[in-house]
Amino acid sequence: MADRKRIIIADDESIIRMDLREMLTNLGYLVVGEVADGRSAVNLARELKPDLVVMDIRFEGDDFDGIDAAKILTEERIAPVLLLTAYSQRDLIERAKDAGVTGYIVKPFRESDLAAAIEVALARFNELKMLEKEVGDLKQALETRKLVDRAKGILMDVQGLTEAEAFRKIQKMSMNTRKPMREVAEAIILAHQASQQE
């Protein structure tokens, strides 16, 4: 399987890490790293760029827990995090949601529970990345529209064109120069600013 999902396990109990590794391997995933605390999970994930981090919610004797690590991994868009917990406390669940955790599974769990939770976590993370790309594309389109509107205004003022004529002129310049309308609009604005300073 060339596209096996790469996973990092973070749990302070070596027996749980061993069980998890076995389950994940049986499910067809590739375990690329194992660590015993949240900070190490963040560092290893930054280095290895896994598809998913499966992490315990609490690490014995460490005030930096799985939720803190998940928050960093989510904010830096390194990898989705599936949290493992023996606790189903409301405050932990709320913190996990606020940290952007994409999945949450309560111990003890079966292999089939783990498989379902992993697929949901991976899907949520992909949705998030697609939404961010859409938002970026929309921002770009809005910025282009603002620039084209400004350039149209300049052509209307300077050359006495109607709005439709100014738009067609920008469109034609874009086709003739094989440059996006945004670049043509920026050039018109810059040329106008330069002529104003003379």
What structural domains and CATH numbers belong to the chain? 6-109 (3.40.50.2300), 134-197 (1.10.10.10)
Distance between CA atoms of residues 40 and 187, nearest Å: 49
Cis omega (within 30 of 0) for bond into 108: yes
pTM: 0.69
Q: What is the pLDDT of residues 101-124, one digit of tens each?
A: 778 888 888 888 898 899 888 888
Q: Please report which confidence band the pLDDT of residue 197 belongs to, taking 50, 70 and 90 as the band edges.
A: confident
Q: What is the pLDDT of residues 20-53, one digit of tens each?
A: 999 999 999 999 999 999 999 999 999 999 999 9
Q: What is the pLDDT of residues 72-105, one digit of tens each?
A: 998 888 899 998 887 767 777 777 777 777 788 8
Which residue in 47, 55, 37, 57 sits closest to 78, CA to CA?
A: 47
- pLDDT score for 1: 46
